[in-house]
Amino acid sequence: MEYRRLGNTGMKVSVLGFGSWVTFDNQLDNSLALECMQAAHDAGCNFFDNAEAYAGGRSEQIMGEVLRELGWPRWSYVVTTKLFWGIHGSDPNMRNTLNRKYLMQGIDASLERFGLDFVDVVYCHRADPDTPMEETVWAMSDMVTAGKATYWGTSEWNADEIRHAIDIAERHHLHKPVTEQSQYNLLERDKVEREYARLHAETGYGNTIWSPLASGLLTGKYKDGIPEDSRASLDGYGWLGERMSDEEALASIEQLRPIADRLGCSMAQLALAWCTKHPMVSSVITGASRPSQVVENMAALDVIPALTDEVKEEMEAALG
């Protein structure tokens, strides 16, 4: 495994991480979740991503139970969560907010579900234009000071919002956010490659990127229809199914197949290896609906050296 600094921090994270969105509880019970986490860990993965909102809190519970069962030393892995959407109904202070009241209660509830004393990174899952930035930065910094989180970060914030948060933290000598968590893959490049370019160059802000396979689309496996055991077939995920059935996207992705064949890897491995090449990327958070996918995805590590600038350009040109 390759380990990279999380942004400008001294903490090293595996370049391939593992996350639980959609899959934990919906597709993976405790025993399959354990198999997946074990397979990732066997390959050297030390970065395990979660969020309060995943499966209405069940995802954090399952990950916590699995971690206890696996018995890995706490220092050997990084576990994360994200706060914003809330899971406690429609109370105005309990959903879609980064106000101090919610954040303070949200982190305590997450830690309780995990059964952990602290998470390593807590992200603000989205930006909240309704709460003054100073209030959010102060609350996130206090979480770090209280030892409930080691670092804090942002998810899908724009570059101006991140700059604003960093400026406030510097002005008040608070803990700064250290990493983004944004979507990045061969089909979704703009934010990481353009919007954050100067932010990354000037501050070293990191990124633990999500949906590296565009939710599975880049595996090329949906060209003959959506398998019944796919998350795109789950109740409530019809929007994923629609995306996976987009004929134009499916045809375009097929242009990558000859490149994967030539390099002797799967389309999934090719797409994951491509994501690791951007310098802002600290970790590529992979998702998987079954343990065999984890094994395949972690082996993308072996494909990274073959991803020369020429191959990268060839892939990008193939998608037009």
Residues 24-53 that bind ligand NAP (CB under 6 A): 49
Identity of the residue, 288 or 303, whose beta carbon is nearer to ligand NAP in the bound complex:
288
Name the catalytic one among 3, 54, 196, 222. 54
Structure tokens that stand for 205 in this block: 């802000």
* CA dist., res. 302 & res. 300, Å (int): 5
By CB under 6 A, residue 19 contacts ligand NAP: yes
Note whether 119 and 79 are within 8 A (CB).
yes
The burial of 133, by beta-carbon neighbours within 10 Å (0-12 exposed, 13-18 middle, 19 or more buried), is given as middle
Whether 102 is catalytic is: no
Phi, psi of 123 (to 5 degrees): -105, 150
At 151, the amino acid letter reads: Y
Contacts with ligand NAP, 149-168, as mask; x by CB under 6 A: ------xx------------
| Cα-to-chain-centroid distance, residue 38 | 18
**Cβ closer to ligand NAP: 23 or 141?**
23
Rounded least distance, CB 231 to ligand NAP, Å: 4
Annotate each residue in 204-233 with x if it binds ligand NAP (CB under 6 A) or - if it does not, as one string: ------xxxxxxx--x-x--------xxx-
Instruction: From 6-14, 105-113, 170-178, 292-300, give the range in contact with ligand NAP by CB under 6 A.
Output: 292-300
Indicate if the alpha-carbon torsion angle 298, 46, 233, 181 is positive or negative.
negative
User: If binding is defined by CB under 6 A, does position 289 make contact with ligand NAP?
Assistant: yes
CA dihedral 228, 233, 234, 240 (to 10 degrees): 150
As annotated, the active-site residues are 54
Residues that bind ligand NAP (CB under 6 A): 19-21, 23, 49, 155-156, 181, 210-216, 219, 221, 230-232, 268, 285-289, 293, 296-297
